Chains A and B, each alone.
Chain A
Amino acid sequence: MTALSLFAVTGAVLIGIGFYGLIATRHFLRRVVAFNLIGSGLFLFFGATGARGGVTDPVPQALIITGIVVAFSASALGVGLVVARARLSGRAALPEEEDGA
């Protein structure tokens, strides 16, 4: 297995785990983590595509950095929301899914 395909496979695995987490968990904090896992997987995969033909394409790297910043802000907002809701209602899941949280 080349280093490149290792990146790609790791990315794919991360996406898979994250996807499972997004669907199967109810605690909103877990979902935020799952979202970050998918994001990291995609970025890893993206970075790997920039290494074609032995020459490193800098564009994906620039885009990944931007993407990380965006994902970070989204995570911050998500955590903020879940904290605010937990303070008000003591729950950290959506009302329709609360029994499992």
Chain B
Amino acid sequence: MSALVTLLVLPLAGAIAAIALPSPVGRTAALAAIAATTGAAIVLMATVAFQGMPRLEMGGWTPPLGIVLVADGLSVALIVMTALVMASAGLAARHAFAPGTAGERAAFGFWPLMLLLWSALNVVFLSRDLFNLYVGIELLSLAAIGLVAIDGKATALAAAMRYMIFALAGSLLYLAGVVLIHAAHGTLDIDLIATRTAAAPDGLALALMTAGLMAKTALFPFHVWLPPAHAGAPAPASAMLSGLVPKASFAILLRLWFDTMPDRASDGALTLIALLGTAAVIWGSLGALAQVRLKLIVAYSTVAQIGYLFLVFPLAGGASAGVPWAAGAWTGAVFLALSHGLAKAAMFLAVGHWMAVAGSDRLSDLRGLAQLMPMTAFAFALSAVTLVGLPPSGGFTGKYLVMTAAFASGQWAWALVMGGGGLLAAAYLYRPMAVLFARGAQAGAAPPSRARQAVPLLLASASVALGIASAGPFDLLAIGRPLAAEEGL
């Protein structure tokens, strides 16, 4: 129970300390908060795995009036993934945002924004109240927009403004849905709404909220803000923005469709969502193929990878005699989200190292860097394996589960999307790999130390380890898994 509060309060306290205390002390306080929150995340995971789901009614108020925090398997899996990415980004940022390396304002602003982002993510992953989720996702967007704009250049500010329009429009749509649901049911508690009989405005509310969250997740066709925003930010910020931020709005979508209103889904809506996901896979991949800057390739790849996640909606359930597990597609989608978070963060951190050495992220400037920095090149390659969905990575486990669910429920066309998307990913990730491994002029600047190069490698290894040791995460995700994930929408 205390671990739940710790996860929200620690990063906030760190953020305030980073603002209030003078520069070197504030930085140390921020790093201490990062370490402590990572520890708290792991403790919470152990608690959920071995003792059951902790539940906290804030201030002693019970629903429908009070707000409830619950940690289930989905929450802690996302929280631990977040902690890993945050800790790595923090380590990378110690150098990227060291005073003197970055501008004064960026060096000051990064730490509070990062910790605020983390706190907001944890709020989203733990809340069981639709309005509290709104507050969480709004805080998240504001911190993320701040991180996009952090280096203060005109292009970054434009990217942040574009992001803001989509984020704010998404928030308003979501809020409109919340209003409608409260008007119909008199409560915003997820578990209470699930027990109420369906009311007339539910469909509209669900549609509004889904559209709003899609805009925040950057699902096609709401993706246009993502590539410039993620590619324009400094590498540690991009790692968080691409790896973590879209997962928060996707987690709310899962909660909304599977926990809150599983009986309000219609086949047409589910197919439409998955079609948008398919379009995202194709469009994002083609976009990545067309880029000549590595950061943009990686950012467009996020657009494509987000598309996979939305295939879960028509595919959930569909248990058949041939499939020896429950909730294959739902679990598979979460596996994809987790491994994408780890792998994508690793990729951005690796690209950050290369940019520091080569001075640019144009593919033509990165020739031969694998020879100079084999560890980061290997990290990039491992991440690529995960994103393509090759075994034995976490991406493969997710892909296998989703594809099996597709065949078992007779909707094999979605399996085609998964398979084709993997090939497209291989195509757009091959180009940077080939450039890195080609013989070429070595860049001038000295490479970062081995310890710093190890950070992206560890993250990438974690995304592969998620596949090798998939039994543990699979069982963890089964804790508190909604019934609709097993029976289908």
Contacts and interface: CB of A to CB of B under 8 A. Distances in A.
A18 B193 CA distance: 30
A57 B138 CA distance: 25
Contact of B182 (A31, A46, A85): A46
Main secondary structure of the interface of B (DSSP, over half): helix
B161 A39 contact: no
Interface residues of A, number: 30
A17 interface: no
Interface residues of B, number: 33
B142 interface: yes
B158 A85 contact: yes
A40 B412 CA distance: 46
A71 B162 CA distance: 17
B273 interface: no
A23 to B, nearest CB: 9
Given A35-B172, A60-B182, A77-B146, A94 B135 contact: no
Given A42-B176, A67-B175, A89-B154, A49 B161 contact: no
Interface string B132-154: 00110011011001100100111
B169 interface: yes
Q: Top 4 A-B pairs ranked by shortest CB distance? A: A49-B183, A85-B157, A46-B179, A88-B154
Interface of A: 15, 22, 28, 31, 35, 38-39, 42, 45-46, 49, 57, 59-60, 63, 66-67, 70, 73-74, 77-78, 81-82, 84-85, 88-89, 94-95
26 contacts: A35-B168, A39-B172, A39-B175, A45-B179, A46-B179, A46-B182, A49-B179, A49-B182, A57-B186, A59-B182, A70-B134, A70-B135, A73-B142, A74-B141, A74-B142, A77-B146, A81-B145, A82-B161, A84-B152, A84-B157, A85-B157, A85-B161, A88-B152, A94-B161, A95-B155, A95-B158
Interface of B: 64-65, 131, 134-135, 138-139, 141-142, 145-146, 149, 152-155, 157-158, 160-162, 164-165, 168-169, 171-172, 175-176, 179, 182-183, 186
